[in-house]
Structure 1
Amino acid sequence: MSPHSPKTPSGDRGFTLVEVMVAMVIGMIGIVIMMQVFATAEGQKRATTGTGDAQSTGATALYELQRDIRQGGYGLNSLSLLSCGLVLPSGATLPTLGPAIINPRKADASLLLPAGDANTDTLLIGYGSGAGSSEGDAITNPNGTILAVQTAANFVVGDAVIAAPVSDGTVACALTLTMDRVTAVATPWVTIGSTPAVPGGLLFNIGQAPAIRAYAIRGGNLTVCDYLANDCGSAGNVGDATIWRPIDSNIVSLRAQYGHNNTNPITWDQTTPTTACQWVQTSALRIAVVARNSQVDKNQITASAPTWEGSAALPFDLSARANWQNYRYKVFETVVPIRNLPWMAKC
C-alpha cells in the first residue's frame, strides 16, 4: 500500500480564496444597495409623515383663528362701544375695542401685546355670548351701582356687562369703559360691580362667557392668551405656558390684513380703524399661517420662503432661524368676513 493518502476528489475541495473574496464583494454590494434603498424609503417616509403633520397642524391653526374671527364683535358691535377703551376683570386695560385687531397698540403707539416670533403678527379678538340686544339696554335711573334699566329681564346674575354713553360712532371714542358682572336683578333694577355711566346711557349685556383672546406665534407654536383671566400685555407673562398656552406646534408664521370696503376695489392693509364708522367700513380679515414639518432635513430643501395673497406688502420671512431652508412648509390662507358689525347709512 502506498504510504501517501489518495487525492481528494474534485467535488470535495471547497471554495478557493478568490471565490470567497468574490462572494464577499457581491454580498457587500448587495448590502450597500439595500441600505441605499432603505435610506431613500425612510427619507420619503419622513417627508410624507412631516408633510402630513404640517397639513394637519396648519389646518387646525387656521380653523381656530377663523372660528374666533367669525365670532369677533358679537355683543360688542354697537357704535357706542367700538373703539372705546376697556378695563378688564384681570385689571388689564385695552386701549380700543374691536372685533379683531391686528398688532394692537397702546395710545403711545407701542405694541399692546409682546411681539411674537420675528416677522409675525399678533391678533386680539373679542366677542360676547349674551342673548340681549346688541344695541344695549337703556339706563333710565342710575343709583350708584344699582341701575334701573328698560328691560331688566334681559339680565341674570353673573352676566358680564359694560355701561356706556350713547355715541354715533363718527369720532374716535375717548372713553375707557369697565367690564362688570351683574350681582343682583330685581326688576327694574340691575346691580353691578362698579359705578356706571350717566343717565341716558346704555347697559350692554355680553353674556356669561365673553371672550377676549390674544394670539401670537411664540417659539414656533401658535399660542393663545385669555385676556379676561390674565394680563396678556405683560412682557413678564410671555414665558409662562399656562398664560400663553401653545395650541398648535410647528406654526412658524402668522400674517393678517384688514379688508376695507370704502374703496373699489377693496383695500388690504394693517391700518386699524380708529372710529366705529371705520370699523363698519372694514368687512373682512385676510389671514395666513405657515406650518412647518417636524423633521429637519440634512440638505436645503426649501430654496425660498413661501408666498401668499398678501406677500406684496407682508411677505413671509423665515430667515430668523438659521436652518430654515432645511424644512418643508405649507401655507394656509383664507378671507374671513367680519359679520358682527353694525350697518349705518351715516357711516
Structure 2
Amino acid sequence: MRTNATAQNGFSLVELMVSVVIGLLAVMFATRLMVGGEQSKAASVGGSDAMQNGMLALFSINTDASQAGWGLNDDLVNGCNTRMTDAEGFALATAARDGAAITPLAPAVIADGGTGSDTLTLYSGTGMAGAGSTSVWQNYIGGTSIGVASVSPFGFNQGDVIVVAPEPAGGDCTVAQLSAAPAASVLQIASGTAWRYNTGNLGVLYNGGQARVFNLGPANKLSFHTWSVSNGVLQLRATDLAGTAARPQAVVGNVVALKAQYGFDTRAGSAFNPKAGMRVGRWSTAMVDADGDGSTGAPGDWQRIAALRIAVIARGAMPERPAAGQTTCTATTAPMTVFGTAAPAGVSASPVQVALGVPNDAVSWTCYRYRVFETIVPIRNAGWRP
C-alpha cells in the first residue's frame, strides 16, 4: 500500500533571507531618520539658546550704556584722571594717556582684548541735578573737611558720593563720600565703616577758588559697572550690587565674547558743537587723538565719545556631534567677525575678528552654533554739558 507525503506550508530559506534584508533596510532608514531629526533638533535648540542668551546679554549692557556719563558730563570731570578708594574693592578701569596709565572718569572705558573678549566699564552717577556742583572756597591741604562756597542749592546730602576736580582742568580728580550733612559750607569726608569711599584724606591738594565739587548722588545707587566675559559667562562688577564690587557676578551663560568700540566725534574747530548734537566720525576699540591736540587719551578725547558700538557673541547650550565617520565637528568652521558694516552712513567700519574658543572647555568650539548681536548706543549725556 502506498501513502502520499503530506504537503508542508511555511517560508523557504530564500524568503526568510529577503525578509531579513528588508527589515534591516527599514531599521537603517529609521535610524537615519531619527539621527537626522536629533541633529535638526540640536541645531534648532542651540540656535534658540544662543538667541535668548545673546538678547539678554545685549539688553543688559545696552541699558547701562544708555545712561553712561550722567553726572560726569562737565568738562572738568569727563576724562579726568581720578583717584578712588573703595572699601568693598571696586577699582576704576585703567586706560592710557600718551603711554602712561591713568584711571579716567568717562562714560565708558574699553580694555581691548584683541581677538578675545573686551572688558567694558560704564560710569554713571544718580544725582538729581545731573551735574550739581559748588566751588572749593578754602585751600584744601588735607584732612576730613572741605570748605566750599555753598551746598544748599545743589542738594548735597549725607552719604552722597562727590568728585573734587581742579579748575581749570589739568590735575587729578578724587572721589569721596559725605560723612555728615553739610553745615556752615563745609563738606565732611571722615573715614569709617559706613563711608566706603573715604580714607580720611583726599590725597590731592586743591587751592581755594581753583576747584569744584560735583555731586554724583547716593552711594548705594552709584552706577559704576564693569562688564566682562570669563569661561563662557557674561559677568558684572558693580558698586551698586552687593557683593560684586571686587568679585564679578555671573549674569548670562554661554556668552563667549563681548566686543566694544568707541564712536568718536572727530569734527574740527567750530564744527564740533556738542550742545547741537554729537556725530560719530570714527570707530575704534583703542583711544585715539579725537580732538587733534597731539595727545592721545587727554580729557578732550574722552569728551569726543559720541556713541558705543557693542557686540555680544552667544552660543547654544548643547554641542553638536561630528558627522558619521568624522572626528571633528563642523557646526562652525571659522572665527566670527563683528562690526563689519558701515554705520552710520558714510562712516567706515572697523571690523574685528573674534576667536570663539572657551578656555578649559572639553568640547571644541567647532561643535557649537553661534549668534552675533550688535547695537549702537548713543552717549546721550555727552552733549548735555553745563
Q: TM-score, normalised by structure 2?
A: 0.71
> For residues 133 and 6 of structure 2, what CA distance do their matches in structure 1 show?
111
Counterpart amino acid of residue 220 in structure 1:
G
Contact 1:288–1:331 (Cα < 8 Å) also in 2 = yes
> For residues 84 and 131 of structure 2, what CA distance do their matches in structure 1 show?
20
Change (3 A) 1:344 1:227: closer
1:5-42 per-residue CA deviation (whole Å, 9 max, x = no partner) reads x85566xx333343333223222221221111111111
How many residues align structurally? 317
Cα deviation, residue 88, structure 1: 3.1
1:208-262 per-residue CA deviation (whole Å, 9 max, x = no partner) reads 2112111112111211122577897xxxx7xxxxx12221112112221111111
Change (3 A) 1:188 1:176: closer
The partner residue of 2:333 within 289, 303, 327 is 303
Cα deviation, residue 181, structure 1: 3.5
Give unmatched runs, 5+ long, in structure 2: 93-102, 191-199, 268-278, 288-295, 323-328, 341-348
Are 1:77 and 2:73 counterparts?
yes
Residue matched to 2:304: 281
Residue matched to 1:340: 381
Are 1:40 and 2:36 counterparts?
yes
Give unmatched runs, 5+ long, in structure 1: 105-114, 238-242
1:21-77 per-residue CA deviation (whole Å, 9 max, x = no partner) reads 322322222122111111111111110010001011111111111111111111122
Residue matched to 1:178: 175
Stretch of structure 1 that moved more, 219-228 or 55-64:
219-228
Stretch of structure 1 that moved more, 176-185 or 52-61:
176-185
Change (3 A) 1:295 1:308: same
Contact 1:152–1:186 (Cα < 8 Å) also in 2 = no
> For residues 201 and 330 of structure 2, what CA distance do their matches in structure 1 show?
62
> For residues 351 and 302 of structure 2, what CA distance do their matches in structure 1 show?
21
Are 1:269 and 2:269 counterparts?
no
Contact 2:280–2:306 (Cα < 8 Å) also in 1 = no
Residue matched to 1:51: 47
Change (3 A) 1:220 1:118: farther
Contact 1:254–1:290 (Cα < 8 Å) also in 2 = yes
- CA root-mean-square deviation: 3.2
Change (3 A) 1:245 1:344: closer
1:111-122 paired onto structure 2 within 5 Å: 119-122=116-119
Are 1:210 and 2:210 counterparts?
no
1:62-106 per-residue CA deviation (whole Å, 9 max, x = no partner) reads 1111111111111122222222213132366532111110118xx
Counterpart amino acid of residue 151 in structure 2:
T
Residue matched to 1:220: 232
Are 1:318 and 2:356 counterparts?
yes
Counterpart amino acid of residue 158 in structure 1:
G
> For residues 312 and 139 of structure 1, what CA distance do their matches in structure 2 show?
44
> For residues 190 and 217 of structure 1, what CA distance do their matches in structure 2 show?
39
Q: TM-score, normalised by structure 1?
A: 0.79
> For residues 385 and 163 of structure 2, what CA distance do their matches in structure 1 show?
22
> For residues 226 and 130 of structure 1, what CA distance do their matches in structure 2 show?
17
> For residues 309 and 161 of structure 1, what CA distance do their matches in structure 2 show?
37
Are 1:101 and 2:131 counterparts?
no
Cα deviation, residue 119, structure 1: 2.0
> For residues 231 and 14 of structure 1, what CA distance do their matches in structure 2 show?
79
> For residues 278 and 251 of structure 1, what CA distance do their matches in structure 2 show?
31
Are 1:247 and 2:259 counterparts?
no
1:122-137 paired onto structure 2 within 5 Å: 122-137=119-134
> For residues 174 and 92 of structure 1, what CA distance do their matches in structure 2 show?
23
Cα deviation, residue 179, structure 1: 2.6
Change (3 A) 1:230 1:102: farther
Contact 1:58–1:330 (Cα < 8 Å) also in 2 = yes
Identity of aligned residues (%): 28
Change (3 A) 1:35 1:180: same
1:195-206 paired onto structure 2 within 5 Å: 195=201, 197-200=206-209, 201-206=211-216
> For residues 293 and 253 of structure 1, what CA distance do their matches in structure 2 show?
13
Change (3 A) 1:174 1:149: closer
